[in-house]
Structure 1
């Protein structure tokens, strides 16, 4: 897919899907441009968009203190100093989560730097090319829904087991990465089959 589209189109698609990902995480976005139309994107950002200008802020309706910053970084080598700048930006906006879309490769130093700030700040790194497709829209991917603390408590009481006895799903699983699920959360997975009908499974993020 990357070979068939221009760099600008790739950035447009990645931004559109990243914004969609934010809404699926429950954030309401503060933005004025139409994310779905390429012409509108070109009109606002041009044929060679400034990557940093593509950023967007989202807040949850249920808790406006819970926000997420969508950041685009086209540095040839994203490192610890750049991550520190992002943390400072989050502190300025009084939010604790960020989705960082990287134009080039994601260095291991950037991953280590992000982990250093957990659990106070939650930073998710995505390579632009990984956002050219919305993986949650594939017909083989069932809905994944994070349970609230109360729902988790009720489930564990009903099953009479601790959370760590539930089947596991890795925090590095692409779906967990997409939704920003955190270790310890319990996820409800809903499957529909022509043969077996509807089934519900639960996994704990590890």
Structure 2
């Protein structure tokens, strides 16, 4: 298992912090990692990667966004693509700012297996609408209308991520282990809807946003986005 704190709270935060030297000021309204916890095996049985993650951090949350000053956002609101695709179609800057932000929100260990917490989450209702049993799914990473879930098969939680898209009412098998998911989250810098970009590639309009603007925001980072079909 990767070293979660080194990768996200050291390396990625440093990359976010140095963006200003290349003309884009970012802020991190939320940065949180709670102390690790020892988890005893239970029913359903938990994969080793689950146990390893939560013995490094019992909750991980990082968000970054473009600092909202007139000087800083000028390069985006005056961008031809953004003007033609969004601003001229009644999108306001707040929506665009969200599209060009990043978020990682790994569920607190006390919540992920808590049925009372799970049934209050939006993914729970989407799975019902898809005729899936929501009790078989556990929310590992929740943000906006996407929830990356683990799934129980019989009495075993499988080391594989499923993506529930509430707005689209869809369920996707990402075919990623927990560790692979975390590595991709880092590569994408948690970019808005990176999971949907990974699954759908060019079929989602978020792909074009990643392709055009993640390198602009992080020109100082050697980005590796080939898994997203971004060269």
Normalization by structure 1: what TM-score? 0.33
User: Larger helix proportion, structure 1 or 2?
Assistant: 2
Q: Which has the higher contact order (CA 8 A, sep 6+)?
A: 2
